Amino acid sequence: MYLQGAILYNTGNKPKAIEVWKDLLALPEDQRRNRSVAAAWMIARATRETDSQEAAKPWYRTCADLSTRDFRDCLQLGLSSLGWEARSYLAKGEYRKALELYHRQAMAGDPSAADSLLIAIPSIDKLSDQDLQQWVQDPFLRGLLTAKLLRETYNWWDFASRPENDSPKRWLNAIEQSASSNITEASTLAELAYSSGDFDIAKRWLLRAPKNDPLALWLTAKFDFMEGRPAAAEKSLTAALPAFQHLPKSTGSTLIISDVCMIPASTAAEYRLNQFYGDLGAANLANDRYAAAMDNLYMGNWDLDAAYVAERVLTLPELLSHVRVSYAAPTASRDSTDWKIRYILARRLARDGYFRDARPFFPKEYLPVFDHYVSLMKQSKAALPVAERSSALWEVAEIHRSLGLELFGTEGQPDFAWADGMFPATNFIYPRLGLSFALPPATDYWERPAVRNLIPAPTEQERARVEQTRLLYEHRFQYRYIAADLAWNAARLMPDNSEETARILGIAGTWLANRAPEAADRFYKAMIWRNWSTPLAREADQRRWFPHIEWDYDPWAAAGAKAPDYERW
């Protein structure tokens, strides 16, 4: 019967199709489980096309009702029916009925409903003062309009870049002037005022919010940041933490409407949780509680900020001790916090030469090459013939160059292993501390005055710690400079006027030649002065720079292992 109606509909006989589908809906329920929702939907559609939107409205309602009962609706036509019914009310200017249906559609999981709500909720500038008061007095409408304005304010990174917009202030003023006693969302209105940059209004709403309200505690902490009270901010955020730890993270396309913005609930919850943990980590950092700062920044997915604390602020013994206690269990998931922190620790220990301590924290796929590296390093220092020591040291240099990012690279500045070294390092240290190591001072988001005032200033202790963790080479790909130094030391053990000596100096020099020709110059000069009689040195002299030298080294094959099969970023 359903297919018969579909054929009639598609051949232009829509009235007859409607009759067939109505006959289908008149059958006993157990005979029409699979086609009732679709039949009601098509009756509504055909009625809209042959009559009017208003005439189709009862059938859209029927379709939605059937979908909530034991009738098959694999295409979610019931949810779509809510939107079409809402559209009919919207066309007549009946905003509340339309918004109720769009809201129901959104909360039931239809991802298109958020856009419908945004379109259906009128702009503040299109509402008269009388209309505003009607919206203020209705808790449902008030919540929707507040949510829409919050969404708009959250589209901007900071107050400095936000365009002028008087809508939030007009809305908040209208609510304050209403003198209504049924305003229960004081903390949400405080958040709207805060995110709009109207701090005085935000403080007034905070006075009306319950003192133990998590959102109010969070906003209070933000004002403590701005007014130089990091200890008070940390106390407020710690008190609010249990509530934010249990934010619902629903799956699917369920939407959050009355919170920050109209996006999937799982995304909204994660977004707010990340923002909260970011503030808590900043408060920990401002109060010299560095391990807690690292943990909370990682909890909020602020990976580069957390890496800054792990690599630059915590001392190596502090980081090692904390990881052994709090991140003791190895994990295979490269996306987990445990994996990231343990790997950062492994590379930091390896950079400082603590190979035995570093080994347990390396991902297992790197251990064959790492073990081979350590073995060669021991050979280079053992009481062996000079030729054997120089050969071992040269291979150490080759490993350091070819797998330096994986074994010795920094997560953040300067190597940026966070992005697989594919992009220049983010200059974090200068905007944060005013310290310029090797990267030029950056003029970016973090330097804007409006942003700086919201981030607790670094303490003298943090500044001193960062100074103490300065790397030997604060250049991008710093491990290449270390590899070149190792090659230099290997060449020092080799004889003059040797083609092999010239080759090693030439290869190591090209590791630096493109990015740092001044650092490579000593290799070029030594290549010629020490090996003048060799063809390679004479070619270099003719070129006035390094000749092309084939260098094909596979650290995995040298270690007798197979290269790991993992997706690089």
Going by the DSSP 8-state scheme, the letter that residue 311 receives in this structure is I
Domain count, the chain: 2
Q: Which two tokens stand for residue 164?
A: 């002028």
Classify residue 132: in a domain, yes or no: no
Q: Measured between alpha carbons, how far is 386 from 228 in angstroms, rounded to an integer? A: 61
Classify residue 354: in a domain, yes or no: no
Classify residue 259: in a domain, yes or no: no
Question: Could you list the residue range(s) of the whole structural domain that residue 112 is in?
Answer: 2-120
Buried b (16+ CB within 10 A) or exposed e, 11-33: eeebeebbebbeebbeeeeeebe
What share of the chain has pLDDT > 90, as a percent? Answer: 66
Contacts of 202 (CB under 8 A, 6+ apart): 190, 191, 193, 194, 219, 223
DSSP bridge pairs for 264: 255
Our measurement of the distance from residue 26's CA atom to the centroid of its chain's CA atoms, rounded to an integer in Å, reads 54
Per-residue pLDDT of 441-498, as tens digits, reads: 655 544 444 444 567 888 999 999 999 999 999 999 999 999 999 999 999 999 999 9
Alpha-helix runs per DSSP H in 453-498:
460-468, 478-492
> Which CATH number characterizes residue 71's domain?
1.25.40.10
Q: Which two tokens stand for residue 140?
A: 């449902």
Predicted local confidence at residue 257, as pLDDT? 38
State which of 72, 93, 120 marks the end of a domain: 120
State which of 103, 120, 137 marks the end of a domain: 120
Classify residue 557: in a domain, yes or no: yes
The helix (run of H) or strand (run of E) holding residue 83 is: helix 77-91
Per-residue pLDDT of 33-71, as tens digits, reads: 999 999 999 999 999 999 998 999 999 999 999 999 989
Buried b (16+ CB within 10 A) or exposed e, 464-477: ebbeeeebebbbbb
Give the pLDDT band (50/70/90) at residue 159.
low
Q: Measured between alpha carbons, how far is 66 from 47 in angstroms, rounded to an integer? A: 18
Alpha-helix runs per DSSP H in 123-166:
129-137, 139-153
State which of 120, 155, 171 marks the end of a domain: 120
Classify residue 417: in a domain, yes or no: yes
Per-residue pLDDT of 277-307, as tens digits, reads: 999 999 999 999 999 999 999 998 899 999 9
Q: Measured between alpha carbons, how far is 451 from 364 in angstroms, rounded to an integer? A: 41
Classify residue 401: in a domain, yes or no: yes
Classify residue 506: in a domain, yes or no: yes
State the helix-helix crossing angle for 95-107 and 77-91, rounded to 10 degrees. 160
Our measurement of the distance from residue 235's CA atom to the centroid of its chain's CA atoms, rounded to an integer in Å, reads 26
Classify residue 301: in a domain, yes or no: no
* pLDDT over 70 at 541, yes or no: yes
Question: Is residue 385 left, alpha or beta, with left meaning phi > 0 and alpha meaning psi from -120 to 50?
Answer: beta
Predicted local confidence at residue 442, as pLDDT? 56
Higher pLDDT, residue 232 or 127:
232
Per-residue pLDDT of 403-448, as tens digits, reads: 999 999 999 999 999 988 888 777 778 778 877 777 666 555 444 4
Please check whether residue 255 is in contact with residue 106, taking contact to mean a CB–CB distance below 8 angstroms: yes
Using DSSP's 3-state secondary structure scheme, residue 138 falls into coil
Predicted local confidence at residue 566, as pLDDT? 59
Predicted local confidence at residue 569, as pLDDT? 41
